[in-house]
């Protein structure tokens, strides 16, 4: 039986770009359908993330224009990640495959052909990965690439240069629905579900119209969200910092003793400074220790599924 595809598109104040990109998505759906890769029930699902401009009325008129367009609207602006999640959860029981993509035409729509093909070849998750970041400013490229490196170092499993352009099968989405956390960082969470995955490479373009909603402030917020949602390493680093401070103060005390032994002068202020440094270090260690327990509690509160079964020797047993 032919597979049904839902394209998930978050939109926030996109009245300028939506009329340009919506027909491109429709063309893609029609093309994939004509090639016999997806069924006629496939849809383009817009999620209006509480826009304040004409985005929702544009979506409504698109839906009247062609049966392939549908839309849902969030009660208020909740941010990109929540909008994508809303779309995925809305679609998961109506289709076999979802592909999430931004509505501004930055991500190459034609990469969907390879994504669908990879799915048909047996992959449940296909990550869209940017080949190069020529159109981004040096600053954005540098900050983004350093961020991926930091995340990896912290032990979080993220795909380098992958944003939120990806194919996810409904099977994976049904497992993903068990991840109940409220702090969303989808690109870090999807790899945790597992299943067979692959990457498809594409060139990233300029926005076709309108403006970016990710100024530095939001980018930093997303980066911080990513680190604190996926890793408790920062908490452990506090302990290491404390041990470092204590060690340095002990070293300084040892040097001071040596100076005294060889007839030098070390006044009371020296000892005071050393004591302060020593106890500051002890305090940081204690904070770190408490932090380790907070970190454990934090992971428990998330109540992520502890195992996910992907295959059985006999189905329905
Ligand atoms: N977006 C959203 N809610 C928000 C901000 C952005 O749904 O609060 C959508 C936006 O309409 C776009 C996608 O998320 O489809 C990516 O946003 P944008 O293109 O502004 O980010 P950039 O590509 O510059 O990082
Ligand atoms: Mg964009």
How confident is the model at residue 256, as a pLDDT? 85
How confident is the model at residue 98, as a pLDDT? 97
Asked if 176 contacts 193 with a C-beta cutoff of 8 angstroms, the reply is yes
φ/ψ region of 164 (left if φ > 0, alpha if ψ in -120 to 50, else beta) reads: alpha
In this structure, what DSSP letter does residue 38 have? B
How confident is the model at residue 314, as a pLDDT? 64
φ/ψ region of 180 (left if φ > 0, alpha if ψ in -120 to 50, else beta) reads: alpha
How confident is the model at residue 289, as a pLDDT? 80
Q: CB-hemisphere CA count at 13 Å for 202?
A: 24
Dist. CA 222 → ligand 1 center (Å): 12
**Residue reference for tokens 């959860």:** 89
* Atom from ligand 1 closest to the CA of residue 49: 7
Kindly report the CA angle at 210 between 15 and 32, in degrees rounded to 5? 70
Residue 202 in 3-state DSSP?
Answer: strand
How confident is the model at residue 120, as a pLDDT? 94
Torsion of CA 71, 76, 81, 83, to 10 degrees: -10
Kindly report the CA angle at 303 between 301 and 307, in degrees rounded to 5? 150
Dist. CA 102 → ligand 2 center (Å): 6
Residue 11 in 3-state DSSP?
Answer: strand
First-residue to last-residue Cα distance in the chain: 24
**Structural domains present in the chain:** 5-231+304-316 (3.90.550.10)
How confident is the model at residue 226, as a pLDDT? 78
How confident is the model at residue 313, as a pLDDT? 52
In this structure, what DSSP letter does residue 90 have? H
* Sequence-ordered alpha helix ranges (H) in the chain: 18-34, 55-65, 80-91, 111-120, 138-153, 170-176, 186-193, 216-230, 233-261, 268-302
d(CA 148, CA 146): 6
Dist. CA 104 → ligand 2 center (Å): 6
Residues with CB under 6 A from ligand 1: 10-12, 14, 49, 77, 79-80, 83, 102-104, 106, 212-214
d(CA 185, CA 82): 9
Residue 4 in 3-state DSSP?
Answer: coil
d(CA 144, CA 232): 21
Q: What is the pLDDT along the chain (317 residues), one digit of tens a residue?
A: 899 999 999 999 999 999 999 999 999 999 999 999 999 999 999 999 989 999 999 999 999 999 999 999 888 888 899 999 999 999 999 999 999 999 998 899 999 999 999 999 999 999 999 887 666 777 777 877 787 888 788 777 788 888 899 999 999 999 999 888 877 889 888 998 989 999 999 988 877 777 877 777 877 887 787 787 778 888 888 888 888 888 888 888 888 888 888 877 777 787 888 888 888 888 888 888 888 788 878 877 887 776 655 565 565 55
d(CA 53, CA 16): 10
């Amino acid at each position: 039986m032919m597979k049904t595809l839902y394209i998930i598109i978050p939109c926030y104040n996109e009245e300028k770009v939506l009329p340009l990109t919506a027909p491109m998505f429709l063309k893609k759906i029609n093309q994939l359908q004509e090639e016999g890769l997806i069924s006629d029930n496939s849809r383009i699902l817009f999620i209006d993330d509480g826009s304040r401009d004409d985005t929702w009325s544009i979506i409504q008129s698109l839906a009247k224009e062609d049966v392939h367009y549908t839309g849902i609207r969030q009660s208020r602006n909740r941010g990109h990640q929540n909008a994508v999640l809303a779309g995925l959860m809305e679609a998961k029981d109506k289709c076999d495959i979802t592909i999430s993509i931004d509505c501004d035409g930055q991500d190459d729509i034609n990469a969907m052909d390879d994504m669908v093909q990879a799915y048909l070849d047996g992959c449940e998750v296909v990550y869209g990965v940017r080949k190069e970041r020529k159109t981004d400013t040096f600053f954005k490229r540098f900050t983004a690439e350093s961020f991926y490196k930091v995340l990896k170092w912290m032990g979080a499993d993220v795909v380098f240069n992958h944003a939120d352009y990806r194919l996810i099968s409904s099977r994976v989405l049904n497992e993903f629905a068990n991840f109940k956390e409220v702090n969303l960082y989808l690109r870090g969470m999807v790899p945790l579900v597992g299943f067979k995955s692959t990457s498809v490479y594409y060139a990233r373009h300029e926005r076709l119209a309108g403006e970016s909603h990710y100024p530095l402030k939001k980018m930093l917020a997303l980066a911080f969200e990513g680190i604190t949602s996926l890793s408790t390493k920062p908490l452990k680093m506090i302990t290491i910092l404390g041990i470092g401070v204590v060690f340095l103060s002990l070293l300084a005390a040892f040097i001071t003793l040596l100076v005294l032994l060889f007839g030098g002068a070390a006044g009371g202020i020296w000892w005071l400074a050393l004591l302060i440094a020593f106890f500051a270090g002890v305090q940081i260690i204690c904070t770190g220790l408490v932090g380790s327990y907070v970190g454990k509690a934090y992971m428990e509160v998330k109540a992520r599924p502890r195992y996910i079964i992907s295959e059985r020797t006999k189905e329905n047993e």
